[in-house]
Chains A and B, each alone.
Chain A
Amino acid sequence: MFLEQGKISNLQLSVLITGFVLGSSVIIPPGQGAGHDAWIAVALGLMEGLLIAWIFTALARQFEYKTIIEINSLVYGKILGKCISVLFIWYLFHLGALVLDNYARFFKLEIYPNTPKTVLFLLLMLVCASTVGRGIEVLARCSVILVPLTILLIPVDTLLLIPHIDLNDLMPILDVPSEKLLWASQGAASFPFAETVAFLMVLAFIDKPEKGPSAVSRGLLIAGFFLIMAVARNAAVLGPMAVITNYPSYLMAQVIDIGDILTRFEVVVGITLITMGFIKISILFYGTVLGLAQVFNLSSYRPIILPVGILMVILALTNVGNTLELFEFAYKSYPIYAVPFQIGIPLVTLIVAKLRRLPQTGGDQV
């Protein structure tokens, strides 16, 4: 079933993954529960994320880079396979709505306080819908332009903040109880590293599948490196404030003041943040519509883009009451909620496929 005609290169895949991981984690930094050791939690989370990526790329490789929807049908049969696929699509859809909500809240609180949230939702969703309608190739090309700008901004930000950095704020290292550190690292793994499981809907469209796993790892490592840098910098500049601030990266950019000439840097940061959000929402949106099209055996996913986008906006509008509730979900429940989707489905599917010796060659399979 070829609902998508486009192909992306391995470099584009790496860049897409970097942008996806940086996505909303540049707004809400991971590893918050570990206080000034958050950067260690992120590093541990990166390692767990790499392990999860190894699992899902192994699954994709086993089935010659089909999408998870097609793999589920082959492994579990048509009915059970579709039920599991619907669960996976729900995760992509729900995560997309959460990221959309994160971004709209951030913009409402920090940049456009008088603009109704619905307008922000609709504008962001329209841009994403337009991109998704043009296929994965266009999204990949956009990411090649947008992601390097954000990657460049993190070290530039850090350099400009050197006068405000106090390394004592990072000391003593490993001061946090190990239980808290491990929980924070699980949080960092589930958000954002293991969320790359969404790429089980994208890996089918890479032009050199044999290099897919290394492209995924490369993207994760690059994103992880810059995320660790950003989290450590936040703690070193803001000190204990980094833990209680909603949006530390944005707050820190407000601190930048080079001789009264280079100020209000936060707007530049805001622009790069929205571009990362655009990439993450678009990937999740793309996975949702492509997944639905495959579940219902449609000829194209394009007719359902607008209604699914509207439903995503509705879910984003209604799923949480206030920002504190959203953060409570992100830091407390999400690391548990995400496990069945990020680890459970790919790992169990891989084990069942190995036990059933799937895919069978020469038969009707694959």
Chain B
Amino acid sequence: MIALLIMGFGIVALIQIPALVQKQWWRELIVFMVLWSAGFILSIMISTGITLPPITMIINKYIIGIFEL
């Protein structure tokens, strides 16, 4: 699974990065790298069985608590 993920993310990077470097779009490259890295790290965490916090449920809990629904 992890090998598949590395391959998938590698393909995305191979498609995008050379084109951005060629155009000298450095700002786009930085934003892309930040988002891409976040996606890669989170995907690896999920695939290794690490449970990420369920954001919607956290919001749900707070709203129900605050408004006493």
Binding site for B on A (CB under 8 A): 94, 98, 292, 296-300, 303-304, 306-308, 310-311, 314-315, 317-321, 325-326, 328-329, 332-333, 336-337
Contacts and interface: CB of A to CB of B under 8 A. Distances in A.
Nearest to B25: A299
A300 B39 contact: no
Interface centre among B31, B42, B64 (most CB of A within 10 A): B31
A113 to B, nearest CB: 21
A307 B36 contact: yes
A261 B20 CA distance: 56
B28 A320 contact: no
Interface of B: 12, 15-16, 19-20, 25, 27-29, 31-32, 35-36, 38-39, 42-43, 46, 51-57, 59-60, 63-64, 67, 69
B54 A318 contact: yes
Contacts of B52: 314, 318
Contact of B54 (A94, A296, A321): A321
A233 to B, nearest CB: 29
B27 A297 contact: yes
A318 B55 contact: yes
Given A298-B31, A311-B39, A303 B64 contact: no
B12 A307 contact: yes
A314 B46 contact: yes
B60 A298 contact: no
13 contacts: A303-B20, A303-B29, A303-B31, A304-B35, A307-B12, A307-B38, A311-B38, A311-B39, A314-B42, A319-B54, A325-B57, A328-B60, A329-B57
Contacts of B55: 94, 315, 318-319
A315 B51 CA distance: 12
B25 to A, nearest CB: 6
Contacts of B31: 292, 296, 298, 303-304
Given A306-B16, A317-B46, A321-B54, A329 B27 contact: no
Contacts of A314: 39, 42-43, 46, 52
Interface centre among A314, A317, A320, A326 (most CB of B within 10 A): A314
A304 to B, nearest CB: 6
Contacts of A328: 60
A318 to B, nearest CB: 4
Contacts of A94: 55-56
